[in-house]
Amino acid sequence: MQQDFIDFKQKAGIKAADPTGMIFIKLPESRIELTGFPWFEQDRIFRRLPLQQSAILPSEVDRLANCTAGGKIRFRSNSRKIQLQIKRGILEPGDNMSPMGMGAFDLYAGSPGQEEFRGVLRAHPQEQDILTQLYSSADREMQTFSIYFPTYCSVRSIAIGIEEGAVLQSPEPFTGSSNGIVVYGSSIAQGASASRPGLNYINRLSRRLRRHCVNLGFSGAGKGEVEVAEVISQINDADLFILDFEPNTVSRYAQKLPDFIKVLRKTHKSVPILVVSRYPFTDYPINVKEIEETAAVLNNMHDPKLYFADASNIFGNNPGDYLADGIHATDEAFACMSSFLAPIIEDIFNT
């Protein structure tokens, strides 16, 4: 084990430990798994869409692509402390999320499917150059660590801090491809209003299903434009696409879906596509006719790998208690969404 670390230091050219006995490894590094950024190898930045696109993206989609929602780091180590040295972008204040929900990293420890929350970044909203400790233990136990990126801010650089002499190894593998489940949608998909990144429904699904996910929620700008579909269709190793943008289109969802799906099908002939309907908002209850119209439109596409999930009743008889502001999801709502979608997704993969 000790030799593993010595060899790693020699190959990576890591500097000596700082005065506190911590060694920092800057990403990217081969033993630290980075997911959630399909174009990272091409552009070398933490961005959810490519810098150069074949289609002209809506300006707000292009801006929100710099938010790192869904980004995740995984590695194994026996370090008793895990620290982060980060440079993040300006955290713009929001009216429906806390600074922690918008701009924090949070850490889970445990093997795939058994991860448990261990720590979260607590920093002033205007703080951009940050050194923080996310994990501390008295035991030198070898385990897998998962660190989720912020939901609503950019990240310019990140380095993982572990104790000098600790082992660093690649994590236990997940099922499926590195991009896995690609979710396109609204602010709810992006993670509003979870109290921290690991609690939105996409990150919950990733842990529960032991699969990587790509979060392509673009707040109020995720409206099903074909130009966005053209860019998303460039992701070449997706196992499943989830379309969850009804909150931004409402009555036009059924009209928007066919063209979006047809673009995906040009390059992904047999990858399953799951279309999800919205849950009810406080001031905008569910219209049964709209659900029926969406289901009929999808059925008429005669696509055996196209699926529909009606999420209109996932909160039961009192949906307002699950919503932070009448629209966006609380942590409890995201838990319901994950529990609703997980068995549907498992059935799709088992078909």
| Surface-to-core class of residue 130, CB atoms within 10 Å of its CB (0-12 exposed, 13-18 middle, 19+ buried) | middle
Pairing of strands 213-217, 106-109: unpaired
**Residue 70 to residue 191: CA distance in whole angstroms:** 9
Domain 180-350 CATH assignment equals 3.40.50.720: no
pLDDT at 69: 98
What does the block give as tokens for 315? 């909160």
Task: Give the integer Cα–Cα distance in Å for 208 and 343.
Answer: 10
Classify residue 180 as left (phi > 0), alpha (psi -120 to 50) or beta: left
Q: Which SS3 state, helix, strand or coil, does residue 199 take?
A: helix
Q: Evaluate whether 330 touches 193 at the Cβ level (below 8 Å).
A: yes
Residue 243 pLDDT: 98
3-class state of residue 148 by DSSP = strand
- Write down the domain spans for the chain: 2-169, 180-350
Domain 2-169: CATH superfamily, name plus number:
Galactose-binding domain-like (2.60.120.260)
Instruction: Tell me the one-letter amino acid at 114.
Output: Q
Nearest residue to 70 via CA among 164, 171, 205, 193: 205
User: By the 8 A CB rule, do 247 and 224 touch?
Assistant: no
Q: Which stretch of DSSP H or E encloses residue 72? A: strand 72-77
How many angstroms separate the CA atoms of 328 and 217, rounded? 13
Mean pLDDT by 10 residues, the chain (351 residues): 42 60 96 98 97 88 97 98 96 90 98 98 94 96 98 98 97 97 98 98 98 98 97 96 97 97 98 98 95 98 98 94 97 98 98 91
Q: Phi and psi at residue 29, in whole multiples of 5°?
A: -150, 140
What is the reported pLDDT for 266? 97
Tokens (6 digits) for 293: 């119209």
Location of structure tokens 């607590």: 122
pLDDT of residue 3: 42
Sign of CA dihedral 185, 189, 192, 197: negative
Residue 160: predicted pLDDT: 98
Given the structure tokens 């002499």, which residue do they identify? 165
Q: How far apart are CA 26 and CA 45, in angstroms?
A: 13
Residue 92: the pLDDT is: 82
* Helix or strand holding residue 119 (H, E): strand 116-120
In whole angstroms, what is the distance from residue 216 CA to residue 65 CA? Answer: 8
Amino acid at 163: E
Instruction: Measure Cα distances from 344 to 237, 249, 288, 337, 341 in Å.
Output: 21, 24, 21, 11, 5
Residues 184 and 321: their CA atoms lie apart, in Å, by 25
Q: What is the pLDDT of residue 168?
A: 98
Instruction: Report yes or no: 216 and 185 within 8 Å, Cβ to Cβ.
Output: yes
Query: What CA–CA distance (Å, rounded) separates 156 from 33?
Result: 17
Strand ranges for 143-296 from DSSP E = 143-148, 155-163, 168-169, 180-185, 213-217, 238-244, 273-276
The number of C-alpha atoms within 13 Å of 257 and in the hemisphere containing its C-beta is 30
